[in-house]
Structure formats: structure tokens, C-alpha cells
């Protein structure tokens, strides 16, 4: 059994505990003959696998009444992995979702670190600075790199901290953010764990 997480630009395969990443544009779904359970936020990819009997879309296993119709399936998969706490998936966007007793409480979507840095750069050459990830967020900034870095990170991190514990971090920038959450669990396989749970729960799907 292969698990597959399809984003807008990449295809992330999980087979026997090992991950491989491929370009979403060039990856050929016909190249896999085993059973594949996938989630996808990529409509073009969905069309390519639509006729393949060994590709199973885990959307069909989701109890959608727990969530909301336009919620990203990757966020849902990460939420399904836990019963309790805050999920922070720090990728191109930073999604933050809260689960209590297995019930979805809601969440919010911030810009990803790269998207935010690019947006500052577009505003003005003066704000197109390297971020200082060593910045002390408890202090008021008195230089531009700190003012920009803290301007994005300090509000976001305080807001996440206000949501309670435990905090589960996943996504490409999880390690970068973990320095601001000393008690957080960094789990880069959170989405795949949630996918496994969806498969186990949803034997009907």
C-alpha cells in the first residue's frame, strides 16, 4: 500500500515508511501498479488519475460534517492524525487548526514564510530584507530586518500559543518554527498518519 499526498507542485509518496518527492507536472501515475491511497489539492492531477482503479481518493473517507466543504484535504488529514491539540502545517500557507476530543473546532490560514517574505519585498525595496529568525520576539524591534520578521512572526506565534497545547508542527517550515514552540511536537509524517487513520476508520470508502 502506498500513501500519496498531492500538492499544487509536488507529489509526496510514502511507501514502507520511506518518502519520495516528485514534481506534480512530470509524475506519471501509471508508473505505479500497487494500490495507492491519495489526497490531492491539485485538480489537474485528479483528472489524470480519475480512470485508474488502483488510485483511491481519500476524500471519500472523510466525514465532511466534522469539517467544512472548502477545507483543504491536507488540513483534514493532519487533523485526523490527532485527537487533541493544535495542528500547525507550515507550508506555502501556514494552516492552524484546533482539535478537542476528536472534534474539529475551527482554524485559520496565515501566509507561509516564503509568501510573506516575497510580499514584503514586493511592497518596497526597503522591506526586501533577509529575515532574522534569531529575533527576540519579546522585544520591540529597532531595525528593519527585526521589524519585518517580528511583524510577521510575533503576532502569529502569540496567536497559536493562545490556542493551547499540545502543538503539532508539520510541513516544510516546521523545524524553523519549532524554535518558537519549545514544547511542540514536530511530526513531518502527520498528514500520512491522518491518512492511515482515515483508511482504518473508513473501511466502507
d(CA 116, CA 111): 6
What's the DSSP call for residue 50? T
Sign of the torsion formed by the C-alpha atoms of 200, 202, 204 and 205: negative
77 interacts with its own copies by CB under 8 A: no
Of 47-55, 151-159, 164-172, 189-197, the window that binds its own copies (rule: CB under 8 A) is 151-159
Q: Which is nearer to its own copies, 73 or 170 (CB)?
A: 73
d(CA 149, CA 105): 29
d(CA 149, CA 57): 39
**99 close to 190: Cβ distance less than 8 angstroms:** no
Q: Which is nearer to its own copies, 52 or 114 (CB)?
A: 114
**164 close to 142: Cβ distance less than 8 angstroms:** no
Active site residues: 74
Report the 3 state secondary structure along 71-122: CCHHHHHHHHCCCCEEEEEECCEEEEEEEECCEEEEEEEEECHHHHHHHHHH
Of the candidate residues 44, 52, 64, 143, the single one contacting its own copies (CB under 8 A) = 143
Of the candidate residues 27, 46, 72, 189, the single one contacting its own copies (CB under 8 A) = 72
Of the candidate residues 49, 150, 170, 195, the single one contacting its own copies (CB under 8 A) = 150
2 interacts with its own copies by CB under 8 A: no
For 155, the enclosing helix (H) or strand (E) is helix 144-161
92 interacts with its own copies by CB under 8 A: yes
Q: Under rule CB under 8 A, how many of the chain's residues touch its own copies?
A: 46
Of 17-25, 47-55, 154-162, 165-173, the window that binds its own copies (rule: CB under 8 A) is 154-162
Show the cell assigned to 116: 510573506
Q: Which is nearer to its own copies, 98 or 170 (CB)?
A: 98
Among residues 197, 156, 196, the alpha carbon closest in space to that of 176 is found at 156
87 interacts with its own copies by CB under 8 A: no
Residues that bind its own copies (CB under 8 A): 8, 41, 67-68, 70-72, 92-93, 96, 98, 105-112, 115-116, 118-120, 122-124, 126-127, 139-144, 147-148, 150-152, 154-156, 158-159, 162
Amino acid at each position: 500500500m502506498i500513501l500519496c499526498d498531492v500538492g499544487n507542485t509536488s507529489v509526496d509518496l510514502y511507501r514502507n515508511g520511506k518518502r519520495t518527492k516528485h514534481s506534480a507536472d512530470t509524475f506519471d501515475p501509471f508508473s505505479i501498479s500497487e494500490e495507492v491511497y491519495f489526497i490531492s489539492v491539485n485538480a489537474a492531477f485528479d483528472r489524470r488519475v480519475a480512470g485508474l482503479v488502483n488510485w483511491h481518493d481519500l476524500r471519500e473517507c472523510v466525514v465532511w460534517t466534522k469539517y467544512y466543504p472548502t477545507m483543504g484535504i491536507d488540513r483534514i488529514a493532519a487533523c485526523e492524525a490527532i485527537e487533541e491539540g493544535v495542528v500547525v502545517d507550515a507550508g506555502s500557507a501556514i494552516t492552524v487548526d484546533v482539535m478537542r476530543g476528536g472534534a474539529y473546532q475551527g482554524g485559520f490560514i496565515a501566509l507561509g514564510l516564503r509568501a510573506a517574505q516575497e510580499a514584503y519585498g514586493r511592497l518596497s525595496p526597503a522591506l526586501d530584507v533577509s529575515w532574522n529568525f534569531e529575533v527576540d520576539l519579546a522585544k520591540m524591534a529597532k531595525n528593519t530586518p527585526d521589524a519585518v520578521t517580528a511583524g510577521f512572526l510575533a503576532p502569529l506565534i502569540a496567536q497559536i500559543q493562545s490556542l493551547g497545547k499540545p502543538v503539532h508542527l508539520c510541513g516544510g517550515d516546521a523545524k524553523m518554527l519549532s524554535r518558537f514552540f519549545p514544547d511542540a511536537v514536530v511530526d513531518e509524517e502527520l498528514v500520512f498518519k491522518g491518512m492511515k487513520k482515515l483508511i482504518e476508520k473508513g473501511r466502507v470508502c
